[in-house]
Amino acid sequence: MSYPYQIRSFDEYQVAYRVSVNEPEQFWASVANNFYWRKKWDKVLEWNFKEPNVKWFQGAQLNITENCIDRHLKELGDKPAIIWEPNNPEDRTRIVTYNRLHKRVCQVAQMLKNNGVKKGDRVCIYMGMVPELAYAVLGCARIGAVHSVIFGGFSAQSIADRLEDAQAEYIITCDGAFRGGKDIPLKSVIDDALVGNKKIKRVIVYTRTRTPVSMIKGRDVWWEEEMEHAETQVEKDGAVSFPAEVMDAEDPLFILYTSGSTGKPKGVVHTVAGYMIWTTYTFVNTFQYKPGDIYFCTADIGWITGHSYIVYGPLCAGATSMMFEGIPTWPDAGRFWDIVDKYKVNILYTAPTAIRSLMGFGLEPVKGKDLSSLKVLGTVGEPINEEAWHWYDENIGKKKCPIVDTWWQTETSGIMISNLAGITPAIPSWASLPLPGVQPVLVDENGNHLPEPKEGEIVSGNLCMKAPWPGIIRTTYGDHERCRKNYFATYENLYFTGDGALKDAKGNYRITGRVDDVLNVSGHRIGTAEVENAINMHAGVVESAVVGYPHDIKGQGIYAYIIFNGKHGDDELTRKDILQTVSRIIGPIAKPDKIQFVPGLPKTRSGKIMRRILRKIAEGETSNLGDITTLLDPAVVDQIKNNRV
Ligand code: PRX
């Protein structure tokens, strides 16, 4: 495997960037020529941001799994595609070669076909981090079914909402998942999610934890039995095959739900060709992957990072991608470093929240671990504070590994702004330069483009993109208007990211965080409206308002102000009750860190909650609250201030 499109110097970066802006069609066609197509495109790009309508590589036909697997078999068949480290370090590791991956993916595709799944059908995947999760994702892609992976931490209610929105008919799940000392009963959560659901035709259950499960006759089947049957169908005379479905470039590949500023998560849709090109191109260039490198992304496949940088991007590049079932702090806080040492990991990609939490354990867990194999470090998901950046640089990278701070989103499908490891300069806490194909602009609240900063100056604004890149969101499932309103209507002819950013005279960007009502808790996106809706489900709650506040480890914590009308003899019990409600409605990741019971909320005369004030109080700022005279009841502010938790 070689990557003719790999950028190898700063000059090459500048040239690539220039060409990608001036001649995007030529640029992306030359990248795309390095992939395997059943039929090449008639037109590289057609777009407008009004509808929006973005089409890359129209007329082309392909299957992404032939690019991720089949085309590597001759050269890399016996090389590891996936190395899997189990939750319990004493359990057996699994090394999945490209040949083995090919066989398993063909089997899954056959199994899905046997169970009635067809091209275009939606398959919901709710599994722990086992290799079978990767097989399931790729098996769907092989037959052209649209996968929708739901992170294992979401509740039955969240799953039910997503199943409904995606109109899914099939589910692949596990009996349970191991995460640290816990055993999470996934199948039973699915059972709860399916109460009253009449659409689901089949639930395929993979055995991982041997947690007792109830199987519903006619609906639920065991993965192992189905796979065994499929094996005999895909294997003939020692050769394995399952014909990959021929897909159009703009056929949907997957739906992934993510939070926005309204109460209802959106199903972000990505399509086959553009996604493939974007994730592979950004993977190879950002991390400067070299054939043979062992690459470890610690994310969960339930999030976009896992989709793009554990499964599709690395496998398309013929890389060796590690998959870790467990958590960084179990059995102890040295787990990541043990893994790096054990497999001689070369590239490590993780989240600032993990770094901050591991920092808290001091250097003892790092001691004695051989980290000398590391060449490149990466972060993703949230701004990285300088302290964490330096800790990572000094104690993990030993000051010899470039750190790539990669800014991107579920909607962008791949890395957008980041330094390229060892090629473009790293600046602590700055995501730095846009990748080729990415054309950021900063605007003020009214959509005016900000002037370019002069030498020594820094400008601050809302981050938008003025042209499409191959991996841009195509639609929100079932509701294109929502996609338009959310991303393309705030500022004319621009894609709006929802983030604020700074820019310096050299063209570097520093992401300052969300400017909408979306929180980023431990790198996970959660809408304040979603949490409020969940809290309001509690019978005793009259009204609530949720804001974010700075949190040492999570980046942002969730602060909930609640007007409670029910009986509450004991605040602590009520708090617990509310937390449980949120867990049940969304999942434990959305539980507020702080709950304050308040007699009222600061509202304008028109009834709008003044979140600015609540945010300031949550942040600990109690003196400089700005103008509160327009409030309906200014006295409520003092009451809230005085009872801060
Ligand atoms: O606010 C930005 C933040 O995470 C948001 C995207 O979240 P999600 O779609 O869940 O994707 C996370 C994985 C890509 C962005 O709008 N964000 C992501 N990466 C960074 C970041 N903020 C600052 N620096 C980053 N490197």
> Mind spelling out the 3-state secondary structure of 166-209?
HCCCEEEEECCEEECCEEECHHHHHHHHCCCCCCCCEEEEECCC
CA of 547 to the centre of ligand 1 (A): 18
Residue 100 CB partners (closer than 8 Å, separation 6+): 81
Phi-psi region at 138: left, alpha or beta (left = phi > 0; alpha = psi -120 to 50):
alpha
d(CA 645, CA 509): 35
Kindly report the average pLDDT of the chain as a whole number: 96
pLDDT of 32 above 80: yes
Q: Select from 272, 333, 207, 255 the least CA-distant residue to 58.
A: 272
CA geometry: angle 417, 418, 420, nearest 5 deg:
135
SS3 437: coil
Q: Are residues 222 and 261 in the same domain?
A: yes
d(CA 443, CA 424): 25
List the domain range (segments joined by +) for residue 461.
11-327+402-499
CA of 526 to the centre of ligand 1 (A): 12
d(CA 83, CA 92): 11
Least confident of 157-171, 569-583, 617-631: 617-631
Mutate to test the pocket of ligand 1, among 297, 382, 487 (most ligand atoms within 8 A of CB): 382
CA of 228 to the centre of ligand 1 (A): 40
* pLDDT average, residue stretch 174-196: 97
Q: What is the band of 2 on the pLDDT scale with cuts at 50, 70, 90?
A: confident
Structure tokens at 185: 């009963």
3-state SS string for 259-318: CCCCCCCEEEEEEHHHHHHHHHHHHHHHCCCCCCCEEEECCCCCCHHHHHHHHHHHHHCC
Whether the CB of 383 sits within 6 Å of ligand 1 = yes
Task: Look at residue 438 and tell me if it is in a domain.
Answer: yes
Q: Which amino acid is at 113?
A: K
Whether the CB of 258 sits within 6 Å of ligand 1 = yes
Whether the CB of 581 sits within 6 Å of ligand 1 = no
H or E stretch covering 464: strand 458-465
SS3 417: strand
Instruction: Read off φ and ψ for residue 310, nearest 5 degrees.
Output: -115, -45
Residue with tokens 């808790």: 521
* pLDDT average, residue stretch 65-72: 98
Q: Are residues 437 and 546 in the same domain?
A: no
Whether the CB of 306 sits within 6 Å of ligand 1 = no
Q: Are residues 434 and 537 in the same domain?
A: no
Whether the CB of 406 sits within 6 Å of ligand 1 = yes
Query: Residue 633 has what DSSP assignment?
Result: -
| Contact criterion met (CB below 8 Å) for 69 and 138 | yes
Q: Are residues 531 and 495 in the same domain?
A: no
Mutate to test the pocket of ligand 1, among 356, 406, 408 (most ligand atoms within 8 A of CB): 408
Whether the CB of 256 sits within 6 Å of ligand 1 = no
Q: Are residues 219 and 283 in the same domain?
A: yes
Q: Are residues 126 and 234 in the same domain?
A: yes
Write out pLDDT tens, residues 475-511: 999 999 999 999 999 999 999 999 999 999 999 999 9
| Contact criterion met (CB below 8 Å) for 148 and 255 | yes
d(CA 586, CA 579): 11
Q: Which residues of 576-601 are buried (b: 16+ CB within 10 A; e: fewer)?
A: ebbbebbbbbbbebbbbbebbbbebb
177-179 and 182-184: which strand pairing?
antiparallel
Q: Which atom of ligand 1 is nearest to the CA of 408?
A: 14
Whether the CB of 412 sits within 6 Å of ligand 1 = no
Residue 431, pLDDT score: 98
Whether the CB of 407 sits within 6 Å of ligand 1 = yes
Q: Select from 173, 210, 213, 177 the least CA-distant residue to 87.
A: 177
Q: What is the band of 1 on the pLDDT scale with cuts at 50, 70, 90?
A: confident
Task: Look at residue 253 and tell me if it is in a domain.
Answer: yes
Q: What is the CATH number of the domain that holds 631?
A: 3.30.300.30
Structure tokens at 598: 């308040």
CA of 368 to the centre of ligand 1 (A): 33
| Contact criterion met (CB below 8 Å) for 438 and 507 | no
- Tally the domains of the chain: 2
CA of 532 to the centre of ligand 1 (A): 22
Whether the CB of 305 sits within 6 Å of ligand 1 = yes
Residue 622, pLDDT score: 81
Whether the CB of 348 sits within 6 Å of ligand 1 = no
Q: Are residues 494 and 526 in the same domain?
A: no
Q: Are residues 488 and 527 in the same domain?
A: no
Q: Are residues 526 and 482 in the same domain?
A: no
CA of 585 to the centre of ligand 1 (A): 24
Whether the CB of 191 sits within 6 Å of ligand 1 = no
Task: Look at residue 531 and tell me if it is in a domain.
Answer: yes
Residue with tokens 């996934």: 186
The separation between CA 639 and the C-alpha centre of its own chain, rounded to angstroms, equals 39
Q: What is the CATH number of the domain that holds 415?
A: 3.40.50.12780
pLDDT of 358 above 80: yes
Whether the CB of 520 sits within 6 Å of ligand 1 = yes
Residue 568, pLDDT score: 67
CA of 509 to the centre of ligand 1 (A): 14
Side-chain-side CA neighbours of 260 within 13 Å: the count stands at: 19
CA of 271 to the centre of ligand 1 (A): 21
Structure tokens at 332: 């102890």
Q: Are residues 136 and 268 in the same domain?
A: yes
Whether the CB of 380 sits within 6 Å of ligand 1 = yes
Write out pLDDT tens, residues 306-319: 999 999 999 999 99
Task: Look at residue 117 and tell me if it is in a domain.
Answer: yes
Q: Select from 414, 396, 398, 395 the least CA-distant residue to 406.
A: 414
Whether the CB of 285 sits within 6 Å of ligand 1 = no
The separation between CA 112 and the C-alpha centre of its own chain, rounded to angstroms, equals 25
Write out pLDDT tens, residues 406-454: 999 999 999 999 999 999 999 999 999 999 999 999 999 999 999 999 9
CA of 213 to the centre of ligand 1 (A): 36
d(CA 544, CA 595): 10
d(CA 202, CA 188): 15
3-state SS string for 202-241: EEEEECCCCCCCCCCCCCEEEHHHHHHHHHHHHEECCEEC
Residue 490, pLDDT score: 97
CA of 511 to the centre of ligand 1 (A): 9
H or E stretch covering 480: helix 480-483
pLDDT of 228 above 90: yes
SS3 26: helix
Residue 120, pLDDT score: 98
Q: Are residues 491 and 552 in the same domain?
A: no
pLDDT of 628 above 90: no
The Cα diameter of the chain in Å comes to 82
d(CA 561, CA 283): 42
Torsion of CA 476, 481, 487, 488, to 10 degrees: 140
Mutate to test the pocket of ligand 1, among 379, 499, 508, 518 (most ligand atoms within 8 A of CB): 499
Task: Look at residue 358 and tell me if it is in a domain.
Answer: no
Task: Look at residue 247 and tell me if it is in a domain.
Answer: yes
d(CA 597, CA 560): 8
* Helices 98-114 and 223-234: angle between axes, nearest 10 degrees: 110
Whether the CB of 525 sits within 6 Å of ligand 1 = yes
Task: Look at residue 138 and tell me if it is in a domain.
Answer: yes
Question: What DSSP letter does each residue of 396-408 carry, written as one string?
Answer: ISTT-S-EEEEB-
Task: Look at residue 184 and tell me if it is in a domain.
Answer: yes
| Contact criterion met (CB below 8 Å) for 45 and 24 | yes
Last residue of a domain, one of 499, 531, 562: 499
* pLDDT average, residue stretch 113-134: 98
Cis peptide upstream of residue 52 (ω within 30 degrees of 0): yes
**For the CA atoms of the chain, what is the radius of gyration?**
24
Q: Are residues 460 and 571 in the same domain?
A: no
* pLDDT average, residue stretch 356-367: 97
Q: Select from 215, 381, 273 the least CA-distant residue to 35.
A: 273
For the whole model, what pTM was predicted? 0.97
Structure tokens at 2: 């070689």
